[in-house]
């Protein structure tokens, strides 16, 4: 069982020939909406891979909130602890043009997720095998979730994205930190230092993703190990990190080496297909990939 404490967004994507200038109105070529938010993405990734997943989050009393909850339910995620805030459901307004993008994120209801919401979901922590959080909801809420996980003796995974310098207390309460290379430097404030040296002297456990190179992780003996990436034809790398995190939580009970191997495989599979959630594999797709 995986408990995800995190964001729920609707991604609104427009494609245009050129970006609009200040004060300009232009016709776009296409519009689509996709479920997103790192929390919801990681919850879906874990659920597709067979985990029982409970989401703790906050949406607005609006159509996007209803759609996101319905999507999560459809993926088999328990939404009992998704609360309804006063603000609008979080959105990302994404404009794509000629291979570039311009993005405005409005966190909205995500920023209303409070420590009290975490306390209300105490039963979920009690039942959890792993608690997984990111940084698209308030830091105070993430820290509280880490404390509650700690109180229940449950592993707390923190994907420090989008990256901020992490307070010492949160780092100490984190069982496994899962940054990419850039997030590592910001989370630990080690800009300019060699990331391999930073990993070597990490006090806690780490699983650092590194794109097609795979990932680096701390073994049970405290050593640093490289899990090479799987060679695939990359089509769209959005959601690779979210897939990796969801998979790592879903497979943690298999031991760190096997969980890492499977998370790497899930991340690789996710980049072979378009979209964040669109690329996330099911358990049978993953197993087929691993036996081929």
* DSSP 3-state percent helix, strand, coil across the chain (nearest 5): 40, 25, 35
Among positions 177, 215, 248, 286, the unique one binding ligand ADP when judged by CB under 6 A: 215
Is residue 229 a contact point for ligand ADP (CB under 6 A)? yes
Cite the DSSP H helix spans in the chain: 38-48, 63-74, 115-120, 122-127, 139-151, 168-173, 181-188, 195-200, 240-250, 256-271, 283-291
- Which residue in the set 212, 224, 283, 285 belongs to the binding site for ligand ADP (CB under 6 A)? 212
Binding mask 100-139 for ligand ADP (x = CB under 6 A): ----------------------------------------
- 268 touching ligand ADP, by CB under 6 A: yes
Rounded to the nearest whole angstrom, what is the least distance from the CB of residue 259 to ligand ADP in the complex? 12
38 annotated as belonging to a binding site for a ligand: yes
Q: CA torsion sign, 15 to 16 to 19 to 22? A: negative
Question: Least Å distance between CB 272 and ligand ADP?
Answer: 8
Query: Tokens 């608690």 — which residue?
Result: 131
Q: Can residue 210 be called a binding residue for ligand ADP (CB under 6 A)?
A: yes
Return d(Cα 263, Cα 272) in angstroms, integer: 15
Least spacing, CB of residue 41 vs ligand ADP, in Å: 11
The answer to whether residues 77 and 53 touch, using CB atoms and an 8 Å cutoff, is: yes
Choice between 45 and 71, CB closer to ligand ADP? 45
Residue 117 sits at φ, ψ, to 5 deg, of: -65, -35
The region of 14-22, 48-56, 92-100, 228-236 touching ligand ADP under the rule CB under 6 A is 228-236
CB of 64 to ligand ADP, least distance (A): 24
User: Which is nearer to ligand ADP, 225 or 237 (by Cβ)?
Assistant: 237
d(CA 171, CA 169): 5
Helix (H, G, I), strand (E, B) or coil at 17: coil
Q: Measured from the CB of residue 286, what is the shortest distance to ligand ADP in angstroms?
A: 12
182, 195 in Cβ contact below 8 A? Answer: no
Q: Is 74 annotated as a binding residue?
A: no
Reported residue count of the chain is 292
CA neighbor of 217 nearest in space, from 259, 185, 267: 259
Q: Which of 271, 276, 280, 286 binds ligand ADP (CB under 6 A)?
A: 271
Q: Which of 137, 149, 240, 248 lies at the binding interface for ligand ADP (CB under 6 A)?
A: 240
Active site residue 66: no
- Strands annotated E in the chain: 2-5, 9-15, 30-36, 53-59, 78-84, 90-97, 100-106, 130-133, 156-158, 176-177, 205-209, 215-218, 224-227
Q: How open is the CA angle 58-60-66, to the nearest 5 degrees?
A: 95
Under rule CB under 6 A, residue 264 binds ligand ADP: yes
Residues in binding site for K(+): 236, 238, 270, 273, 275
Could you give the residue numbers annotated as active site? 242
Residues in binding site: 9-11, 37-41, 136, 180, 209-214, 236, 238, 241-242, 264, 270, 273, 275
Residues binding ligand ADP (CB under 6 A): 180, 209-212, 214-215, 229-230, 232, 234, 237, 240-241, 244, 264, 267-268, 271
């Amino acid at each position: 069982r995986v408990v995800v404490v995190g964001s729920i967004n609707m991604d609104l994507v427009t494609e245009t020939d050129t970006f609009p200038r200040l004060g300009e109105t232009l016709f776009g070529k296409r519009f689509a909406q996709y479920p997103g938010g790192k929390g919801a993405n990681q919850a879906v990734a874990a659920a597709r891979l067979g985990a029982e997943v409970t989401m703790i989050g906050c949406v607005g009393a609006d159509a996007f909130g209803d759609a996101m909850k319905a999507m999560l339910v459809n993926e088999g995620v328990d939404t009992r602890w998704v609360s309804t805030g006063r603000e609008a459901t979080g959105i990302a307004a994404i404009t794509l043009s000629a291979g570039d993008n311009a993005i405005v994120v409005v966190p909205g209801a995500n920023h209303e997720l409070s420590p009290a919401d975490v306390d209300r979901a105490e039963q979920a922590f009690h039942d959890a095998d792993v608690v997984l959080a990111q940084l698209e909801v308030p830091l105070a809420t993430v820290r509280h979730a880490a404390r509650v996980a700690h109180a229940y003796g449950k592993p707390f995974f923190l994907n420090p994205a989008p990256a901020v310098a992490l307070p010492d207390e949160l780092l100490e309460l984190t069982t496994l930190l899962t940054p990419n290379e850039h997030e590592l430097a910001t989370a630990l404030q080690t800009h300019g230092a060699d990331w391999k040296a930073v990993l070597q002297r990490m006090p806690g456990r780490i699983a650092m993703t590194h794109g097609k190179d795979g990932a680096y992780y701390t073994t049970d003996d405290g050593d640093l190990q490289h899990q090479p990436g799987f060679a695939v034809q990359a089509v769209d790398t959005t959601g690779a990190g979210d897939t990796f995190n969801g998979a790592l939580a879903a497979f943690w009970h298999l031991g760190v080496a096997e969980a890492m191997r499977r998370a790497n495989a899930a991340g690789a599979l996710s980049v072979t297909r378009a979209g964040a959630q669109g690329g996330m594999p099911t358990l049978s797709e993953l197993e087929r990939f691993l036996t081929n």
